[in-house]
Amino acid sequence: MGLFDKFQKEGPTGLDETRSLPFLSIADLLIFPSSTMPLYIIHPLGQKAIDFAMANDRRVVVGYLRDPNQGQETQTPKTLIESHYPIATQCRLIQVMKLPNNTSRVLVEGLRRVSLSTLEAKTETHLAGFEPVIDETTQKPPNPGLVRALKDEFETYGKSNKRVTKEILARVQGTVDPTLISDLICGVLSAPLSDRLEIYLSFDTLHRLEKTLELIRTEAEVLDLRKAVTDRVKKRMEDGQKEYFIQEQIKEMNKALGKGEEDDPSGLKELEKRLSEKELSKEVEEKFRSEFKRLSRLQSFGPEAGILRTYLEWILDLPWTTGTVASSQPSLSEAQNILDSHHFGMTEVKERILDFLAVRLLRPDLRAPILCFVGPPGTGKTSLGRSVAEAMGRTFVRMSLGGVRDEAEIRGHRRTYVGALPGKIMQGMKKAGTQNPVFLLDEIDKISADHRGDPSSALLEVLDPEQNNTFADHYIELPFDLSQVVFLTTANSLHTIPLALRDRMEIIHIPGYTENEKVSIVSGFLLPRQLENHGLHSHDIRLGSEAIKAVVRGYTMESGVRSLDREIAKILRKVAREKAYSQTKKKDFRHALVTVRTLEKFLGKPKHLPEAKYHQNPPGFTYGLAWTEFGGKILPIESAGFEGKGNLLLTGNLGEVMKESARIALTLIRQRAKDLGLGDFDFANTDLHIHVPEGAIPKDGPSAGIALTVSLVSALKRWQLASELAMTGEITLTGRVLAIGGLKEKLLAAHRNGRTWVIIPKENQRDLDELPVDIRKALTINLVDTIDEVFELTELVQDRPCER
């Protein structure tokens, strides 16, 4: 006979008998004997257990789930009892209230702890078989002192905790049963469930009492800490209110006595004074007065007041009107002298700046264009911005964009963020103090985007003359006129600048310097400046042009002059050391002589050896010309053929475009095999290998097309090419030679590396005007339209080796 049938047959029995009762399963709660607690029953099995208990003697057994997420619908009796803790609570239902959504609110009273023996799952409800829990009080009676200490601690705890009623305090004090004392106290403690569960599951009365005492003391410390924090906060608020009222009383008394405030702790008077001296537009002034009114109602020591005061100071610091224009503009002749005295060469740039200044004289209200200086590092792009500002008589501001990834760096942060500030554009305008400075955006090609936004998109409005008269910074929240600002930008390469941003700028290319130009720059600019920096005079050193050329060739090999400037400084440090040593020893120091022979004494061994130059190149070897963002360079190309299966091997870290040029070259050669004397050549059983040395450096672009073609023909015919020859040009499948970019830098690289004969596309003839006259005279330049002209120039179509 099952437990359910047995219960129905025998009816309810007393507390002292072993019996079965309807079973309730709960989690995250614990019902101690002699405590009352409300339960909300949602599960259908729980609802049936409640209904069954209410129809009988209102008693149930409440068990506690080990895992709160584990259900009980599909469990067997064995797994069902294993999913609960072994100790449960026999409870009496005091009140049951039906709520909407099939929920019941049940008020239960804990009667005693029981040990679960069986659980039987029935359709109507689950029935629990149980036995009363007998603690080990009789075997190990607790120390009376421990019971006394527990009661005293609970009485102290109850005075500071509103959950402990007078009835519970009285009942604990009047109870002699140690087990009941522990149950009464744990029923009202706010300790963690795991700690109270440890007490509930224990059979050792002594352990239960000790653990309960520990929990009371812990809870008492938590209550004391909370009270201390609350008291400190309350006192701080009271002190703040007191200070505010005292300040207000002082103000009123000073007004009654006709006296002004000697100090201005809130800063309001200073802001009012600055506002009266500042010329603002109507919109800006209305915004200022609105925020100023808010500030006057706030306590001066509050954090919000500090944020608002900083915002108002920013409004007053910015140059809003044209009344803060810079000093008068120099004449065109003065501007010309300033540019020439600071920079060597740069004819195109200087002409463009002088043109702009001339137009400004005729139309002062003209919106300034956006100029972008593009060139290799060390060519003077950044310093040119300072010279432009001086030539225009304006304030100069520089902002570096290298590594900027956050849009807020340009537009600022909104005032809702802690530590918010305007963007760098507004910070630069504040630093300038004028509405029309020269604003240099340095390294514009180095900005990039991430999850914080795209700074280049924020620059679109800044660098658009049609939009920047109402630039909106997120922090300022007012339109600011940037139309009078002369924006200059610098970049090493245009490829990484977004097209929309590039379209807003006028591109001015600044090429690298020739060897003679570098000599002039050292003599006229770098050496005088470094002499001053090192405390030397012009008569302390003799540095001739040949020595400077040796420095350029052996220690720098760059398009700009930055490394050259460092090498000159290194020489002067050695000279300064010799002079200081002579003064210490009281010897005469006439001057230091720096020549080509003595250069190693100052700079050590040369860092750059000249490119290995064959008397006549081996078959398959030729030179192309390449452009990088650091200037031009020569590009050695090697080709070889050997028995194989007609494959084309390409090595040297080549990009896709350059690989395509190599395939086009092979196709052209096969088309023109008869004219080249290769009519009987077995291409199907020959593998061709093209290699471009310095394989660690990526290479790409179409301009090596004719060099690749000539190298392959030279390898197949086993002919040698002239060692002084270099070439550049893009080829097509029909044999046309197309124009390329960066011609000046490429020809400078050819001259710098001792190549005197170059072949270039005829379409690039217009670019030769940019080449210095001395370089043009030093090079033999051939212009070609087709690949056949290249073959004729290199004599590859003749039946004899190439000689020139």
**Residues annotated as part of the active site:** 703, 746
How far apart, in whole angstroms, are the C-alpha atoms of residue 612 and residue 705?
23
Going by C-alpha positions, the residue among 437, 443, 423, 322 that lies closest to residue 382 is 443
CA 326 centroid distance within chain: 36
Helix, strand, coil share (%) of the chain residues, nearest 5:
45, 20, 35
Helix (H, G, I), strand (E, B) or coil at 164: coil
Q: Are 23 and 119 in contact (CB under 8 A)?
A: yes
Residue pointed to by tokens 């259908």: 44
Degrees to nearest 5, angle at CA 711 with 710 and 712: 90
Give the single-character DSSP code of 54: H
Instruction: Give me Rg for the CA atoms of the chain.
Output: 46
Q: Are 766 and 790 in contact (CB under 8 A)?
A: no
**SS3 track for 706-762:** HHHHHHHHHHHHCCCCECCEEECCEECCCCEEECCCCHHHHHHHHHHCCCCEEEEEH
How far apart, in whole angstroms, are the C-alpha atoms of residue 571 and residue 551?
10
**What's phi and psi for 350, nearest 5 deg?**
-65, -40
How far apart, in whole angstroms, are the C-alpha atoms of residue 599 and residue 593?
9
How far apart, in whole angstroms, are the C-alpha atoms of residue 631 and residue 637?
19
Q: What number of other Cβ atoms are within 10 A of residue 603's Cβ?
A: 19
Sheet holding 780-784: strands in order across? Answer: 648-651, 686-691, 631-643, 621-628, 725-727, 757-761, 780-784
How far apart, in whole angstroms, are the C-alpha atoms of residue 6 and residue 3?
5
Going by C-alpha positions, the residue among 655, 642, 665 that lies closest to residue 727 is 665
1's tokens:
């006979």
Secondary structure (DSSP) of 175-238: ---HHHHHHHHHTT----HHHHHHHHT---HHHHHHHHHHHHHHHHHHHHHHHHHHHHHHHHHH
Residue pointed to by tokens 């003749």: 798
How far apart, in whole angstroms, are the C-alpha atoms of residue 120 and residue 107?
25
Q: Are 548 and 571 in contact (CB under 8 A)?
A: no
**Pairing of β 396-400 and β 438-442:** parallel
How far apart, in whole angstroms, are the C-alpha atoms of residue 259 and residue 261?
7
- Give first-to-last CA distance, the chain, whole Å: 119
Going by C-alpha positions, the residue among 471, 497, 500 that lies closest to residue 484 is 471
| Cα→Cα distances 744→171, 728, 779, 781, Å | 102, 12, 12, 12
Q: Classify burial at 592, counting beta carbons within 10 Å of its beta carbon; exposed 0-12, middle 13-18, buried 19 or more.
A: buried
